[in-house]
Amino acid sequence: MTSPDRWTDELSRARLHVVTGKGGTGKTTVAAALALALASGGRRVLLVEVEGRQGIAQVFDTAPLPYSEERIAAAPGGGEVRALAVDAEAALLEYLSMFYNLGFAGRTLRKMGAIEFATTLAPGLRDVLLTGKVKECVRRTDSGGRHVYDAVVLDAPPTGRVVKFLDVTKAMADLAKVGPIRSQSDGVVRLLHSGDTAVHLVTLLEEMPVRETLDAVTELDAADLRPGAVITNRVRPPRLPARSMTAAAGGRVDASRVRTGLAEAGLELDSDILEGLVEETVEHAIRVQAEQRARADLDAVDLPALELPELTDGADTGALYELAELLGEQGVR
Amino acid sequence: MSARARPPLLDIDKLIDDPDTRILVCCGSGGVGKTTTAAALALRAANRGRRVVVLTIDPARRLAQSLGLSELSNHPRAVDLVADDGGGELHAMMLDMRRTFDDMVLAHAGRQRAQQILSNPFYQTISSSFSGTQEYMAMEKLGQLVHDDQWDLVVVDTPPSRSALDFLDAPQRLSTVLDGKIIRMLSAPARAGGLGLKRLVGAGFGLFTKAVSTIIGGQLLADASAFVQAFDSMFGGFRERARATYELLRSPGTAFLVIAAPEPDALREASYFVDRLSGDEMPLAGLVVNRTHPVLADLPATRALAAAEDLERAGSAPLASAVLRLHADRVAVADREKRMLSRFTRAHPAVALIGVPALPSDVHDLDGLREIGHRLAGE
C-alpha cells in the first residue's frame, strides 16, 4: 500500500462523486464510507441511491429510506451524512407538479402504472429523471447562496450500465426537443461533464471485476466523462515471503521446513493437519499471484488508486467508520 | 451459544439424476457465479448420462469460449465432451434477446403485419433496451426449449438483474407496456377507451397527457401508438405464452436453485428470493453458496497466531510463521462465512444448502467446470 498516487486535489474539488463497480465488489459500502470520509470535519454530504435496492439503509442498518433527505449518520468532527433514495416515479411526479398542477391526479396515475408506462416508453427518461434529481441536490443553495451540500455521493448502477446511465445526452435523443425536461437535462449534461464530477470505480483484485473496471474507464473516456479514483476493496495481506511465493503457487511448499519451524514454536502437528496447512498455503499463493496480475492491470490505467482492506468481521456500521478513516488517511477530503 | 442450526444438505447428484427433473433454474444476485454454476451443473448432468441443454445469459467471454460459444446464437450447439465422459450430451446457447423477440413476432403476426412491427422505431427500442425484455425473452426461450422436447434437462441461467426478483416480475411489466390500454388512453384520451380513466382522475388526465407528450415528444407517442395497434392482434397470444411459461415454472418438473456467495448482500437477495419462490409456490431445491473458504487444517487460530508471534519474535522460520498467519486469516474468513450462513439458516431452516469451496483461480475451461461440478456434489 505505498502507491504514490492517492486522492488528488482535483478530486477534492469535485462536488459530485459517482461510485460504481461490478456487482459484488461492495460499491454501496464504499460509497457510504466515502460519504462519511468527505463529511469529516464538519461538512454536510448527501449520499444518494437510484436503483430502488435500499442498499444504503442496509449498510447503515436502518429502516428503508423514504423519498426525502434524511440524516443517516454523524461524521467525525461534527459533519453529517444525509441519505436519499431517488425513485424515478416520484421524481417525475415532483417534476410534473413543478410545471403542471397534477395533485390528486398524479397519485391516481401512479397507482395505475401510467407513470411506469411513460418511463418505459422512453427508456432514457428514467435515467434523465434520476440524474436530474441528483443535479438539483448538487446545485441547491440556501438563502445565503451557499451550497446546501458540500458534496454529493451517488451510489450509481454497476459498471456494466453506468456509462449509459450517465450519458444523458444520448438518452435525450429519444425525448422531446423542447420543454422543461430538455432544459433541465442540459444542466445535467453540463454538471456530469465538468470538473465538478468524478466517477470512482470500485473493484476487487480479481480477473472479472478488474476487466470490467478497465472497460468502464475506456467507455467513460469515450463518453467524455471523467474517471476519478480506482478504489480496490477487500484487499488481503500477502503472508508468504516473496521468495517462496512462486514455488508455493506451483504446488511446491517445503513441508519439512514448515514442520521444523512449527516444532520450534512448540507445535507438533499430525501429518494430516500439516497437509491441510500446506494445501491452504498453495491456495493462498495462487490467489496472491492472481491478485498481483490484477493489480498490474489496474496500474496500467494510471488513475489515483486507493485501497481498503478486507474486514474479517464484515461491513457493519462500525466498520464504515473504520473504512472512512482509512480513506481519510489516503487523502480523501 | 445454542447448537448451530444445521440445514439439510443439498444433494445435487440426486437432483440432476432424477429423470423427473426437467428444468433447473439458477437464480441469484449479480456477481455470485450463477452462469458458472449453471454451466457446471449442465456439464455434470451430461457426464452422468443425461441429454442437457444450458441456456446462458451474457456469460463472461472465457466461460462462453469454454463451452464453444463465440457469439450470440438462437440455437443450441453441441459442446465437445471428451471421450471418457459418461454417454450424455451437452448443448449450450447464449440468449440473443433481439432475435428471440423478432422470431416471436414473426411466429405470431401475419407476414405483412410482422414487417410493420419490426420496422417500427418503438419496437426497436423496446426489443433491444427495455430492462424487462431480456428476462421476458429468457422465459420465452426456456418455453421453446422445453417444447422442443429434444432434451432431458434444460438448465437456465437468469439475467443479471438489478435484483434477483426482476426475473419473475419483468414479463409482467413488459406485458403491461404492450397491453394497449394505457397507450390508447394517452394517444386518444377523449375517445371511449379513455372515459373510465378520465372520470377517475378528472381534468388532471388531460394535463398528464399533455405533460407526457411534452416530455417524450409527439413523434415517440405516435410511433408507440402505431406499434400497439399493430401489436394488438397478437397480444393475446403473447400474454398466453408468458402465462404458460410461468405455469411451467411452477410445475413439478422444475427445480429452482438459488445461488449466492457468503456475503451479506448476496445472502439477503437469496433470502428475498426464497421467500418469493415459496410465496408463488415455485419449487425450490435449495441454496448453492459459491466460493466458500473451508478450513483445511484442524488448528485453532489462537494457537496458530501465538506460535507465529513466537517465531517472529525469535526471528526464525519465516515460512512456518507465514503459514500460521495465513491459516489464521483463513479461519477468520471461514468463521465469518459460517456465521452468515447460520443466520440464513435460522431464517430458512428447511432450505437445503451446499457450500462450494472457492477455486484459487478463475474457471475458463471444461476441466474447471468439471471441478466445480465435483464441489457442487460435495466430492
Per-residue pLDDT tens over the stretch B118-149: 888 778 777 876 666 788 888 888 988 998 88
- Return the pLDDT at A109: 64
Instruction: Choose the mutation target among A49, A50, A117, A172 for the interface with B, i.e. most B CBs under 10 Å.
Output: A117
Minimum Cα–Cα distance from B183: chain A residue: A117
Going by C-alpha positions, the residue among B42, B11, B13 that lies closest to residue B26 is B42
Count the residues in chain A: 333
Q: Which residues from chain A sit within 8 angstroms of residue B312, using beta carbons?
A: none
Lowest mean pLDDT among A10-14, B56-60, B83-87: B83-87
Span A317-322, average pLDDT: 91
B211–A290 C-beta distance less than 8 A:
no
Does the distance separating the beta carbons of B205 and A55 come in below 8 Å? no
d(CA A49, CA A55): 8
Q: Residue B130: phi, psi to the nearest 5?
A: -70, 135
Band the pLDDT of B36: cuts 50, 70, 90.
very high
What pLDDT, in 10s, does the model give residues A273-309? 999 999 999 999 999 999 999 999 999 999 999 999 9
Cα radius of gyration (chain A): 24
Q: A140 φ, ψ to 5°? A: -65, 135
Return the higher-pLDDT residue of B349 and A180: B349
Is pLDDT of B358 > 80? yes
Stretch B238-263: mean pLDDT? 87
Highest mean pLDDT among A102-106, B3-7, B253-257: B253-257
pLDDT band with cut points at 50, 70 and 90 for residue A29: very high
CB atoms within 10 A of CB A104: 10
User: pLDDT tens digits, residue range A60-98?
Assistant: 989 999 889 999 999 999 999 999 999 887 887 777 777
Q: DSSP readout, A146-187? A: -BS-SEEEEEPPPHHHHHHHH-HHHHHTTS-SSSHHHHHHHH
Q: Which of B38-42, B68-72, B86-90 is modeled with the greatest confidence?
A: B38-42
Optimal mutation site among A121, A181, A260, interface B, most CBs of chain B within 10 A: A121
Q: Three-state DSSP class for A83?
A: strand
The CA angle B178-B179-B185, to the nearest 5 degrees, is 110
**% of chain B residues with pLDDT over 90:** 41
Beta bridge partners of A152: A16, A46
In B23-129, DSSP assigns E strands to 23-27, 51-56, 77-78, 89-94
Q: How confident is the model at residue A125 (pLDDT cuts 50, 70, 90)?
A: confident
Looking at the DSSP bridge assignments, the partners of residue A151 are A45
What pLDDT is stored for residue A2 in this prediction? Answer: 44
Between B128 and A175, name the one with better pLDDT: B128
Contact A52 B162 (CB under 8 A): yes
Dist CA A134 CA B247 (whole Å) = 41
Indicate the length of chain B as a whole number.
Answer: 379
Q: Residue B158 has what pLDDT?
A: 85
Position B2 pLDDT exceeds 50: no
What confidence tens digit (pLDDT) does each residue in A257-271 have?
999 999 999 999 999
Higher confidence at residue B249 or residue A177?
B249
Judged by CB atoms closer than 8 Å, whether chains meet at A22 and B31 is answered as yes
Helix boundaries (H) for chain A: 9-13, 27-39, 55-59, 88-99, 104-112, 114-121, 123-139, 159-166, 168-172, 180-192, 207-222, 242-249, 255-264, 271-299, 317-329
Burial of B73 (0-12, 13-18, 19+ CB in 10 A): middle
CB contact (8 A) between residue A312 and residue B332 = yes
B60 versus A327: the higher-pLDDT residue is A327
Round the average pLDDT of chain A to a whole number and report it: 88
Q: What DSSP character marks residue B9? A: B
Given pLDDT bands bounded at 50, 70 and 90, which one contains residue B208?
A: low
Does A153 score more than 60 pLDDT?
yes
Strand order in the sheet with A70-75: A70-75, A79-85, A44-49, A151-155, A16-21, A197-203, A227-235, A305-309
Does residue B259 surpass a pLDDT of 70?
Answer: yes
Estimate the crossing angle of helix A114-121 against helix A104-112, to 10 degrees. 70
Range A120-134 average pLDDT: 79
Calculate what percentage of chain A has a pLDDT beyond 90: 66
Q: What are phi and psi of B373, to 5 degrees?
A: -60, -45
d(CA A229, CA A219): 15
Does the pLDDT at position A122 exceed 80? no
Least confident of A176-190, B38-52, B283-297: A176-190
Confidence bin at A329 (pLDDT 50/70/90): very high
Do the chains contact at B201 and A109, CB–CB below 8 Å?
Answer: yes
What is the structure's pLDDT at B266? 87
Which residues 19-58 on chain B approach chain A with CB closer than 8 angstroms? 29-32
pLDDT by residue (tens digit) across B38-56?
999 999 999 999 999 999 8
pLDDT band at A127 (very low <50, low <70, confident <90, very high): confident
Which of A267, A276, A314 is closest, CB to CB, to B296?
A276
Q: What is the mean pLDDT of chain B?
A: 83
Are the C-beta atoms of B53 and B154 separated by less than 8 Å?
Answer: yes
Per-residue pLDDT at B283 exceeds 60: yes
Segment 54-113 of chain B within 8 Å of chain A by CB: 60
Q: Tell me whether residues B296 and A177 touch, CB distance under 8 A.
A: no
Asked if A220 and A303 touch (Cβ cutoff 8 Å), the reply is: no
Residues 6+ apart with CB under 8 A from B313: none
**Strand B153-157 relative to strand B89-94: parallel, antiparallel, unpaired?**
unpaired
- Provide, as residue numbers in chain B, all residues whose Cβ is less than 8 Å from the Cβ of A312: 329, 332-333, 336
pLDDT in tens, A199-244: 999 999 998 899 999 999 999 999 999 999 999 999 999 999 998 9
- Chain A hits for B220, Cβ within 8 Å: 121-122, 174-175
How many CB atoms sit inside 10 A of residue A179's CB? Answer: 17
Report the largest interatomic distance among the alpha carbons of chain B, rounded to a whole angstrom: 91
Q: Which residue in the set A116, A260, A273 is minimally distant from B297, CB to CB?
A: A273
Question: C-alpha B350: how far from its chain's center?
Answer: 22
pLDDT over 90 at B98, yes or no: no
Interchain pair B129, A262: CB under 8 A: no
* Residue A232 dihedral angles phi and psi, to the nearest 5°: -90, 120
Per-residue pLDDT, B200: 47
Task: Spell out where chain B has E strands.
Answer: 23-27, 51-56, 77-78, 89-94, 153-157, 254-260, 284-292, 353-357
- Average pLDDT of the residues in B238-250: 81
* ipTM of the complex as predicted: 0.85
Region of poorest pLDDT, from A184-188, A229-233, B66-70, B283-287: B66-70
pLDDT at B195 exceeding the cut of 50: no
Lowest-pLDDT range, A314-318, B47-51, B249-253, B344-348?
Answer: A314-318
Choose from B172, B200, B212 for mutation: most chain A CBs within 10 A: B212
Question: A107 pLDDT exceeds 80?
Answer: no
Contact A91, A85 (CB under 8 A): no
For position B122, what pLDDT does the model report?
75
In chain B, which residues have their Cβ closer than 8 Å to the Cβ of A315? 264
What is the rounded CA–CA span in Å between residue B138 and residue B248?
A: 13
